[in-house]
Homo-oligomer: A and B are copies of this chain.
Amino acid sequence: MSSILYGKDILQTDTMSDQQLELILSTAARLEDELEARGQLDNMKGLVLATLFFEPSTRTRLSFETAMLRLGGQVITVADPKTSSAAKGESLADSVRTVEGYADVIAIRHPRKGSAQEAADAVNIPVINGGDGAGQHPTQALLDIYTIQKEKGSLSGLTVALAGDLKNGRTVHSLVYLLARFNARLFFVSPPQLSMPAEITTELREAGADITVTDDLTLAARQSDVLYMTRIQRERFDDPAEYEKLKGSYVLDMGVIRQAKPGITIMHPLPRVDEIKTEVDAYEGAAYFRQAANGVPIRMALLTLVTGRE
């Protein structure tokens, strides 16, 4: 009996049904337990994953590969676009069609928006989007949701603050739609220059979401169960002085944590640079490395579901 994701591509979270979403989360939890209990799974025995990274990303690539290996599968990889046949002028469609002759499932990362869809259209095996430039990064959004569920015990009734650069972060854009499905109360915390795109805020509010827009990190932290930090990049500002002035307001340290809601969970997609002080790492609610580790069960779930090996 095949699941509702068998043979499917995983290109974005926005178009996923609630049923698909819940299947992914529950499969991740089950596989994580089974791996913990048995040390090694064999769901993917005999299958080969191709990780095609036309743009470097250690974190995403290594967690896909780990997921496949812990499931008993094998991996072939292109980690450096310069060593690929794309460098010889081959189209992406031709590249993935060739790889279709080798592998059973493809995880792809590519700097061009829409590239994952293009790859999926070219082949008959499942394609999982590992990030397509300014487009989507569905496995990140899924592991974020999975992390919130694990850290807080449930996805319902939560208040979640997203802070930093809400304008440019594709991860944050996908995530807020997912959170809205679970009726989360949301804080959008950013300087005005980096605020959430108005169409997203409007669309979510029209669908009934309770959203507070603010530039005050401490205010939001006081009322939130989860604080999702992102980096504010210097290059987003025309005026360096403006950047320097604002930067400090979006750096999380223990001072902010002490004023925050007790037990607040801190998340970050990583890599961080300065926006969370290392002093926060010892705080038990600092979940960002656990969040990264959750990339493995989420990708285990996706790999097994799309190949019918769950």
Q: Residues on A close to B: CB < 8 A?
A: 39-40, 45-46, 48, 50, 53, 56-59, 62-63, 65-66, 69-70, 74, 76, 78-80, 82-85, 87-90, 93-95, 97-103, 270-273, 278, 289-290, 292-296
In the assembled complex, the CB of A66 is this many whole angstroms from the nearest CB of chain B, namely 4
> Whole-angstrom distance between the alpha carbons of A89 and B274 in the complex?
10
B-side contacts of A57, CB under 8 Å: 85
What chain B residues lie within 8 Å of A50 (beta carbons)?
A: 62
Within the complex, what minimum Cβ distance (angstroms) separates A246 from chain B? Answer: 19
Of the listed residues A58, A63, A294, the one surrounded by the most CB atoms of chain B closer than 10 A to its CB is: A58
With a cutoff of 8 Å between Cβ atoms, the chain B residues found around residue A74 in the complex are 69-70
Taking CB atoms, residues of chain B closer than 8 Å to A84 are 56, 58
Q: Which residues of B contact A70 (CB under 8 A)?
A: 46, 48, 74
Determine how close the nearest CB of chain B comes to the CB of A303; give it in whole angstroms.
Answer: 15
Partner of A270, one of B79, B94, B290: B94
- Provide a sorted-by-A list of 13 A–B residue pairs whose CB atoms are within 8 angstroms: A46-B70, A50-B62, A58-B78, A58-B85, A58-B95, A69-B76, A85-B270, A88-B271, A94-B271, A97-B289, A97-B292, A98-B270, A100-B289
What residues of B have a CB within 8 angstroms of the CB of A98 in the complex? Answer: 59, 270, 289, 292-293
Inter-chain CA distance A70–B44, complex, in Å, is: 12
Q: How far is the CA of A98 from the CA of B40 in the complex (A)?
A: 20
In the bound complex, do residue A79 and residue B85 qualify as a contact, i.e. CB atoms below 8 Å apart? no
- A90 to B48, Cβ gap below 8 A? no
